[in-house]
Structure 1
Amino acid sequence: MDIFMILKLLGGLALFLYGMKLMGDGLQALASGKMTQILERLTNKTIYGVLLGAGVTAVIQSSSATTVMVVSLVNSGVMSLRQAVGVIMGANIGTTITSWMLSMVGIESDAVLIKMLKPTSFAPILAMIGVVLYMKAKENAKRTNIAHLLIGFSVLIFGMDAMSASMEPLAHSPYFENMLVAVSNPFFGILVGMVFTAIIQSSSASVGILQALSLTGVVSCGAALPIILGQNIGTCSTALLSSVGASKNARRASMIHLYFNVVGVTVFTLAFYGLNMIFNFEFLTAAVGPVTIAVIHSIFNVGSTMLIYPFSKHLVNLAEYTVPDDRVSTGYSSLHKI
């Protein structure tokens, strides 16, 4: 891999992250005001919160943005912790929509209609429409936001395409193969996914980059799985940072997000790799593509929500215990509730 391929990779990564940011900003500007009102009114029951969190995140394409919004509402006293826990769980489900959208990049077919489903086929058209809208928008904020959405999506797809093209030579690199073998170790793979996602502050972008890498055909299921698990922990950094200096309840909301993902990853890791020691899953050595990564991402997020949902009140109690009130007696009472 020469210097030009590295520059192309970095350029593609820059376009991908910028496109993700521009698209997210456009979506949030179009919907955030209404979404905040809906979040305030429709979270009395935890199950409604889960559905609402999934829906809001699917619309604004960012679980981090949804969680930060929840932390803000809790900080202002508009939403309680018990209302917040459902929305936080639902946000993890809603974020899988992005991976399914990006998985269409991997569609391979000679049929014209199928080819048109590939984002790389219609992204140039969306970019052109977005630019025209932006030029005609003038003072119209709604048109400007729609233009940002269309241009952002197109730039994101161009960046993903550039990344996958620049990484093709890696398929024949022994160093890259050794690196993939290393991240197949669940603990190291989880650490890599966690740190990288914390750095770029977006699990959707992190999963998308992994999907672009999988287009080279050398990413195995065993390498992708722990990275995806780590990405779910790394995305908690955004909410944790947003709660710095906020109220105790806001900090508790961010801790609920962290505990939810850590518990889900821990249970899934122990169960899956424990079963692998018994049955020796052969599919772990098989190469995965963007669709398989979207499937793994969805199974984990939906599965962990179903698993932890019945214990949602215990997440609240744990957060109240680890971020206690100033009173001395609170520690004992919170621990007793857990």
Structure 2
Amino acid sequence: MDIFMILKLLGGLALFLYGMKLMGDGLQALASGKMTQILERLTNKTIYGVLLGAGVTAVIQSSSATTVMVVSLVNSGVMSLRQAVGVIMGANIGTTVTSWMLSMVGIESDAVLIKMLKPSSFAPILAMIGVVLYMKAKENAKRTNISHLLIGFSVLIFGMDAMSASMEPLAHSPYFENMLVAVSNPLFGIIVGMVFTAIIQSSSASVGILQALSLTGAVSFGTALPIILGQNIGTCSTALLSSVGASKNARRASMIHLYFNVVGVTVFTLAFYGLNMIFNFEFLTAAVGPVTIAVIHSIFNVGSTMLIYPFSKHLVNLAEYTVPDDRVSNGYSSLHKI
């Protein structure tokens, strides 16, 4: 892996992250603040929170942005912790939409209609439309936001293609193959996915990079699975950072996000690898593509929500126990003074 390959990868990642940010900003601006209003009007039913969290995240393409929004609403007292827990669960489901969108990058066919379904085929058209709208937008805010949406999506796809192209030589690299074998260790793979996602502050980007890497044909199921699990924990870093210096309930909301993913990853890891010890899953050595990664990502997040949903109140209680009220944490010292 030479310096030029790394530079191409970094360039592709930069385009990917910028495109995602531009697209998300355009969508949020078009919504004219309605996203926040919807979250503010949540009922006490957790299921509605899950659905709204999933819908909002699917639109703005960032579970981190949704979770940070929730933390800020809890911090301001607009939303309770019991309302927040549902939105946080839904945000994890909504973030899988990005991976499904990126899975189309790997579409291969000679049919013109099928080829046009590939994002790299229609992204240039959207980019051109977006640029024309931007040039003619002048003071028209709606046109400007639509142009940001179209250009952002196109830049994201170009970044994805650039990352994929930079990684093609790795398919024949013995060093790279040895590295992937090491990552196949569940614990190490989870740590790698967690740390990398925490650094770039985006699970969608982290999953996108893994999908681009899978196009080389060198990524196995056993390698992808633990990395994806780690990515879900790593994405919690954004909410945790946003809660620094905030109210206790805001910090509790960020802890709910962390606990949700840690519990989900722990249960999934123990169950899956426990069954593997009994049945010896042969498919772990099979190569995976972008679609398979999207499937794994979706199964984990939807499965975790279904598993933890009945215990949402306990999740809130755990967060309250972790970040106790002052009178609880200082109870002993106050009693001692008396």
TM range (shorter): over 0.9
Deviation at 1:12, TM superposition (A): 1.3
**CA pair 332-196 structure 1, distance change in 2 beyond 3 A:** farther
Contact kept in structure 2, 1:324 and 1:330, CA below 8 Å: no
Contact kept in structure 1, 2:180 and 2:219, CA below 8 Å: yes
- Decide which moves more: 25-34 or 144-153: 25-34
Alpha-carbon distance in structure 2 between the residues aligned to 1:281 and 1:196: 27
**CA pair 208-270 structure 1, distance change in 2 beyond 3 A:** same
- Decide which moves more: 327-336 or 6-15: 327-336
Equivalent residue for 2:99?
Answer: 99
**Residues 255-274 of structure 1: pairs in structure 2 closer than 5 A:** 255-274=255-274
Deviation at 1:7, TM superposition (A): 2.2
Output the aligned Cα RMSD.
3.1
Deviation at 1:329, TM superposition (A): 7.0
**Residue deviations 1:282-310, cap 9 Å, x none?**
11100000000000000000000000000
**CA pair 77-182 structure 1, distance change in 2 beyond 3 A:** same
**Residues 28-107 of structure 1: pairs in structure 2 closer than 5 A:** 28-31=28-31, 33-107=33-107
Deviation at 1:75, TM superposition (A): 0.6
Deviation at 1:311, TM superposition (A): 0.3
Alpha-carbon distance in structure 2 between the residues aligned to 1:297 and 1:319: 25
Alpha-carbon distance in structure 2 between the residues aligned to 1:13 and 1:266: 29
Deviation at 1:26, TM superposition (A): 1.4
**CA pair 337-232 structure 1, distance change in 2 beyond 3 A:** farther
Contact kept in structure 2, 1:50 and 1:86, CA below 8 Å: yes
Alpha-carbon distance in structure 1 between the residues aligned to 2:9 and 2:334: 50
Contact kept in structure 2, 1:317 and 1:337, CA below 8 Å: no
Equivalent residue for 2:126?
Answer: 126
Equivalent residue for 2:308?
Answer: 308
**Residue deviations 1:198-219, cap 9 Å, x none?**
1111111110111011111110
Contact kept in structure 1, 2:85 and 2:256, CA below 8 Å: yes
- Decide which moves more: 175-184 or 134-143: 134-143
SS in 2 for 1:216: coil
Deviation at 1:333, TM superposition (A): 17
SS in 2 for 1:32: coil
**CA pair 65-9 structure 1, distance change in 2 beyond 3 A:** same
**CA pair 157-336 structure 1, distance change in 2 beyond 3 A:** farther
**CA pair 3-336 structure 1, distance change in 2 beyond 3 A:** farther
Contact kept in structure 1, 2:193 and 2:229, CA below 8 Å: yes
**Residue deviations 1:263-322, cap 9 Å, x none?**
000000000001111111011100000000000000000000000000000000000011
SS in 2 for 1:327: helix
**CA pair 255-332 structure 1, distance change in 2 beyond 3 A:** farther
**Residue deviations 1:11-60, cap 9 Å, x none?**
11211121112112212222261011111113320011111111111111
Provide TM-score, normalisation by structure 1: 0.96
Contact kept in structure 1, 2:6 and 2:166, CA below 8 Å: yes
**Residue deviations 1:142-174, cap 9 Å, x none?**
211111111111111111111111111100101
**CA pair 304-333 structure 1, distance change in 2 beyond 3 A:** farther
Alpha-carbon distance in structure 2 between the residues aligned to 1:155 and 1:3: 23
**CA pair 37-53 structure 1, distance change in 2 beyond 3 A:** same
Provide TM-score, normalisation by structure 2: 0.96
**CA pair 330-311 structure 1, distance change in 2 beyond 3 A:** farther
Alpha-carbon distance in structure 1 between the residues aligned to 2:177 and 2:37: 49
Contact kept in structure 2, 1:127 and 1:151, CA below 8 Å: yes
Alpha-carbon distance in structure 2 between the residues aligned to 1:313 and 1:264: 16
- Number of aligned residue pairs: 338
Between the two proteins, what is the percent identity of the paired residues?
Answer: 97
**CA pair 333-299 structure 1, distance change in 2 beyond 3 A:** farther
**CA pair 270-169 structure 1, distance change in 2 beyond 3 A:** same
Alpha-carbon distance in structure 1 between the residues aligned to 2:94 and 2:334: 31
Deviation at 1:4, TM superposition (A): 2.8
Alpha-carbon distance in structure 1 between the residues aligned to 2:79 and 2:255: 16
Deviation at 1:331, TM superposition (A): 8.2
- Decide which moves more: 41-50 or 124-133: 41-50
**CA pair 52-333 structure 1, distance change in 2 beyond 3 A:** farther
**Residue deviations 1:65-115, cap 9 Å, x none?**
110111111111110000000000000000000000000001111111111
**Residue deviations 1:188-244, cap 9 Å, x none?**
100010011111111111101110111111100100000000000000001001111
**Residue deviations 1:107-130, cap 9 Å, x none?**
111111111000000000010011
- Decide which moves more: 249-258 or 144-153: 144-153
Alpha-carbon distance in structure 2 between the residues aligned to 1:334 and 1:206: 47
Structure 1: state its 5+ residue gaps.
Answer: none
Alpha-carbon distance in structure 2 between the residues aligned to 1:336 and 1:107: 69
**CA pair 206-329 structure 1, distance change in 2 beyond 3 A:** closer
**CA pair 329-152 structure 1, distance change in 2 beyond 3 A:** closer
- Decide which moves more: 162-171 or 302-311: 162-171
